[in-house]
Structure 1
Amino acid sequence: MSDLDPDELARLRVDLARISRGLDRATRGADLTRSATSVLGTVAVRGPIGMGELAAVEGLNPTMLSRLAGKLEAAGLLVRDADPADGRAVRVAVTEAGAAEHARRRAERTRLLGAHVAALAPEHVDRLRAALPALDALAAALRDAR
């Protein structure tokens, strides 16, 4: 199969962004921004993580990340402490409430996406299923490129 042309790439980018934003808007609520939700998710999945590594993973500058971590900490979703390997460095970890909130949001996004997929014609569902390996590979390539 040949490469996608620029118009197809634009469609793919726009469609993926619309899907992501739609799920995000429907499940984020008013209490957390998209960036805060992403930071919470990364910490919940990766476990305790240094602020420098988290900034790199999230693509945020350290000042912005520090503000987000502070807000998440104030909400009882994250805790900050000294890195045991380097007492000068700070790491963050998800609290029990943060893990529960992440799990709730993840389940809600999955439920919402499932409801919309279930409303599609069967041939579209089959095409989505067939596209999953390619989307997985694309996501991995984008992640590895960072």
Structure 2
Amino acid sequence: MREDPDEITRLKIALGRISRTVDTLVSGGGLTRTQLSVLGTVARLGPLGIGELAATEGLNPTMLSRVVGKLESDGLLQRTTDPVDRRAARVDVTDEGRELHCRLRDERTQLFTDALERMSGSDADTLMSALPALESLASVIADSGR
């Protein structure tokens, strides 16, 4: 398949526009996109070791430490000592952090649900049919950054 650079640009613009618009419409309470991503990852997969979290998020340890520190000071995450390796730290979500994560997830899901309902049936069906390809694209891009 020969990719058309103009169509690839359109895809990139559309995905970026969707992402920015969703971020604008569903506020994370003043948290950055990175902070929200870390919170979401810990809420879904936690508790996690700091190294495992850094690898999952694709962040360097210094940046992750700042992000976790901010989320911890906001009462959304908590650090504990790893029970196996007492020198290492683990991060888990607090009740407040889980509540924020679930609220934002539900609001974003509703935003997409409402938008899909306003689209033509054939466009919504086409978009949902493209979901496996979009997930594959996300994985390939994420893997190329590691």
| TM-score normalised by length of structure 2 | 0.89
Residue 17 of structure 1 corresponds to which residue in structure 2?
16
1:81, distance to aligned residue in structure 2 (A): 1.2
- In the alignment, residue 137 of structure 1 is paired with which amino acid? S
8 Å CA contact 1:44–1:102 kept in 2: the answer is yes
Distance (Å, rounded) in 2 between the aligned partners of 1:17 and 1:56: 24
CA contact (8 A) 1:81 1:90 kept: yes
Match of 2:46 in 1: 47
Give the paired residue count: 145
User: In 2, Cα distance between the equivalents of 1:71 and 1:26?
Assistant: 23
Give, in whole Å, the separation in 2 of the partners of 1:81 and 1:3: 51
Aligned-pair identity (%) = 53
CA deviation string 1:7-28 (max 9, x = no partner): 2222212211211121122112
In structure 1, the residue corresponding to 2:66 is in which secondary structure?
helix
* Distance across 2 between alignment mates of 1:94 and 1:29: 16
Please, what is the CA RMSD of the aligned residues? 1.7
Query: Aligned partners of 1:102, 1:30: CA distance in 2, in Å?
Result: 11
Map 1:81-92 → 2, pairs under 5 A: 81-92=80-91
Q: Could you list the runs of 5+ residues in structure 2 that have no partner in the other structure?
A: none
2:95 maps to 1:108: no
Q: TM (normalized to structure 1)? A: 0.89
Q: How does 1:1-146 map to 2 (within 5 A)?
A: 2-145=1-144, 146=146
Q: Is the CA contact (8 Å cut-off) linking 2:47 and 2:90 kept in structure 1?
A: yes
Greater CA drift, 27-36 or 91-100: 27-36
Worse-matched range after superposition: 38-47 or 2-11:
2-11
